[in-house]
Amino acid sequence: MPAFPTSTTVLDSVLFRDAFGTSEMREVFSDLRLISRYAEVEVALAKAEARCGVIPAEAAVEIAARTDVAALDFDLLREETDIVGYPIMPLVHQMAKQCGEAGRYVHWGATTQDIMDTAVVLQIRDGLNIIADDIAALRGILAGLSKRYRDTPMAGRTHLQQALPVTFGYKTAIWLAAFDRHAERLAELKPRVLVGQFAGAAGTLASLGDKGFEVQQALCEELGLGIPVSTWHVARDGLAEAVNFLALVTGSLGKIALDIMIMASTEFAEVYEPFVKGRGASSTMPQKRNPISSELMLAAAKAVRQHAGLMLDAMVQDFERATGPWHAEWMAIPESFVLTAGALHQAKFALGGLVVDEKRMSDNLDISRGLIVAEAVMMGLAPQIGRQEAHDVVYDSCRVASDKGLALADALAADPRVADRIDRSTLDHLTAPKNYLGLAPDMVDRVLTSVRR
């Protein structure tokens, strides 16, 4: 009889896992990879201690050669972890057995949290490399959209109301600039976050005597990690920064998703996610084309935000070793990385094939019959009659245009306070939305040239 799926979360669900994550990121944070990282740190520790003369060199060679993660009894590891509360002692038991006489030197002078923290940092390093590649790809997509639609006019909206004309390239350039900053943040946080942990039971390296700092440095060098200036058993700002960075990334994706979803609504109809037969279909309404990728991006933003808060809460730890907040990180870190990778994957799909209806954007821009550029007329009148009076005159004409269904140019032409000062051709020019884009196209250029692409 075939086994039935038993996953209980969307991250591992056979139905949802590729909607909310990616196989590449799931692999980084899989049980097997995590246990392999634990073993890798233990082996690196033995090599470091041999380099420093703390354990025999031949013992380190044996530990490296005979440690075999694939040969571990994972059922026993699970059972003992459930009893102990942590997986390192059960792992060390099995590694020591694999390594024979050299096994007595496995985990020499270390504490459980040293191994677990350092292994998680190795996972985070792999995860951040994936995130960096995804951000780079997304920046390329957004740069392409910004360049292509630099001069494509559309209605800019504030408080969900038409405000002033912008261009679609201006909108995507704002998105792009945010991800330029995320790339900068990622480069800056790595030296703070990718730091090894090796300090012993209370963080003082007491068990290694005067060799403590030497072993600590050698271990970090073996793993390619930064050397800590102090023990960070209960100073969790680095890990919290990593997850809060992911919250910033998904927050930006959530903003993009919300814009796309609203712009894809029937009444706007300005952009659509790429067409894939059946994607976004309704079980009862054949006409539907739901923005599925954007919905998933928005959901991920909300979930990672929760984990970012959890990581901040987990920073509040007691004395030299905490009594529980550490465990919250075991939930927050893997899930945040998987959700962020999933959201970036959805963004690359949605934006990489985004369907942009320039005609509909133009039609929507004209829907107010010129009211969207009332500011242009006000500024055109202001030099002659003063800004405040110009505001009042144009305000009155806007009310007339709205009440009578007139074009703003017609309402203005009917007001002698305007007609006596501005001719009709000038009014027509001032009330044409495409003539009032401000520096929106130039801002696109500034974003595109602000960093090397």
Spatial separation of the C-alpha atoms in residues 156 and 95, rounded to whole Å? 63
Q: Which of 315, 339, 364 is the last residue of a domain?
A: 364
Distance separating alpha carbons of residues 218 and 289, to the nearest angstrom? 57
In a domain, 358, yes or no: yes
pTM of the model: 0.92
Same domain? For 89 and 211 the reply is: yes
CATH number for the domain harbouring residue 357: 1.20.200.10
Which structural domain, as residue segments, surrounds residue 239? Answer: 112-154+163-197+232-364
133-143 average pLDDT score: 98
Place of tokens 């050397």: 227
282 pLDDT more than 70 = no
Element (H, E) at 200: none
384-440: pLDDT as tens digits: 888 888 888 888 888 998 898 888 888 888 888 888 888 888 888 888 889 899 999
Shared-domain flag, residues 214 and 82: yes
Supply the residues annotated as catalytic. Answer: 159, 282
pLDDT of residue 277: 66
Q: Is residue 131 part of a domain?
A: yes
Rounded to whole angstroms, the Cα distance separating 376 from 372 reads: 9
What letter represents residue 201's amino acid? A
Using pLDDT thresholds of 50, 70 and 90, give the confidence band for residue 213. very high
Whether 275 and 423 share a structural domain: no
% pLDDT > 90, the chain = 73
Q: How far apart are CA 396 and CA 37, in angstroms?
A: 71
Which DSSP symbol is given to 211? G
